[in-house]
Amino acid sequence: MNENHKRILKNNFEHIEKEIEEIKLMLRNKKHDFVMYEIKQDVSEERKQEIYSVLKTIMNKISEIKHLLKLETETEYTSRSIRAMLNDIWITLEESMPKGLKGYGSLNDNDKEFLIHQLSTIKENVKKISEW
C-alpha cells in the first residue's frame, strides 16, 4: 500500500474515531447547556450497552489495522482545535449578518441594526477568546 493510501486511511480512521467518541458522549447522558436545541435521551440502558460493545469492537479493529499498516498517531492540540472552532463560529456569525442574509430577502433598517448590534457583541466575545 502506498503512502497516499495510508494517509487517507489514517485521516478516515481519525474521523471515525471522533464520531465514535461523540456517540459515546451522547450515550453518557450528560446534561448539556444548549440554548437552541436539546438532546432527548431515548436509548435504553440495554441498547446503550450493546452500542458500547460494538463501538469497542470497531475501535479494536481500527487499532489492529493501525498497527498492521504502521500508521502514525496524530497529536491534536486543544488550543489549535479551539481556534478552528472559533474560526467556524466567526464565519457563521459573518454569514448571519445582514450582508450574509441578502440572498434570503431584504431586511428593514431596524432588523439590520438589531442584527449588527447583537451579533457584534458575540463577535467581540469570540475575539476575546481568540486573542490568547
pLDDT digits (tens, 9 = 90+) for 5-46: 999 999 999 999 999 999 998 898 766 778 998 888 899 999
Q: Which H/E stretch holds residue 6? A: helix 3-27
- Same structural domain, 19 and 54: yes
Domain that holds residue 42: 3-69
Angle at 85 between CA 66 and CA 90, to 5 degrees: 155
The tally of domains found in the chain comes to: 2
- Same structural domain, 65 and 82: no
Cell 450515550 -> residue? 27
**Side-chain-side CA neighbours of residue 31 (13 Å):** 1
- Same structural domain, 87 and 63: no
Write down which residue in 49, 69, 89 finishes a domain.
69
Q: pLDDT value at position 38?
A: 83
Write down which residue in 42, 69, 96 finishes a domain.
69
pLDDT digits (tens, 9 = 90+) for 45-54: 999 999 999 9
pLDDT digits (tens, 9 = 90+) for 83-109: 999 999 999 999 999 999 999 999 999
The grid cell for 26 is 451522547
The grid cell for 112 is 439590520
Phi, psi of 75 (to 5 degrees): -100, 125
